[in-house]
Amino acid sequence: MNNHASFIHPAGWPFIAIAAGIFLGCALIGGMAFLVGVVLLAWVIYFFRNPKRVTPVRPGLVISPADGRVCLITEVVPDEELGLGSEKRLRISIFLSIFNVHINRCPIEGTVVDKIYRPGKFFNASLDKASVDNERNALALTMTGEHPFKGQKIGVVQIAGLIARRIVCWSSIGDTLRSGERFGLIRFGSRTDLYLPQGMQPMVCVGQTVLGGETVLADALSQENVREGEVR
């Protein structure tokens, strides 16, 4: 299990070291090169930040697996490889810009029952086709806890984007995860998809900004209708 709580995630240190080397070279040149080096080093450190989050822990809550913006909420048939059945489910897609925290967190209390990696392309992660064509890693989890959806599966998919070229997932089949627990990261701009169980409604809207490990995306105990949002 890899649930690092340090401010900088250990996966970032090799990249910070590279950026530091570039900074030193730029510093020797001076002038505008020095400023470029400062910005690059600062951004790489910022990108791999790994903040603590306060996760709501009531049974049945589905928590955002990533920071970013909800770019799509669509009803789709999940890929067969996910093992989530052939019926349509609601999929919440979260787009992560290069300025978002890129740590992925478990959306529920549950057990990993499948893990599937598939190579693919690197389309812009905000596009709908990214869910099908892009490189990705998927986890299927069985929900635990006392609520009506206990024992049902939920899917969370890490998707590489136009800039992201590396998906990291340290959770394995058989792991029992807590909601909000770190399970992976995606480097340099990406997307995370969440497949809700059938009959569960989202509590967020397209365009809404969410925080991984904190924002409630759905509630197994809620009877609320699908939410609508307005830009104000």
How far is 44 from 2, CA to CA, in rounded Å? Answer: 21
179 is a catalytic site residue: no
- Single out the catalytic residue among 64, 93, 126, 190: 190
One-character DSSP codes across 110-146: EEEEEEEEE--B---TTSTTHHHHB-EEEEEEEE-SS
Q: Residue 205 and residue 79: Cα distance in Å, rounded?
A: 23
Q: 2, 103, 89: which is closest to 51 by C-alpha?
A: 103
Beta bridge partners, 184, equal: 104, 169
First-to-last alpha carbon distance for the chain, in angstroms, is 42
Please, what's the b/e burial string for 206-218 (b: 16 or more CB within 10 A of its CB; e: otherwise)?
bebebbbbebbbb
Query: Which amino acids are annotated catalytic?
Result: 190
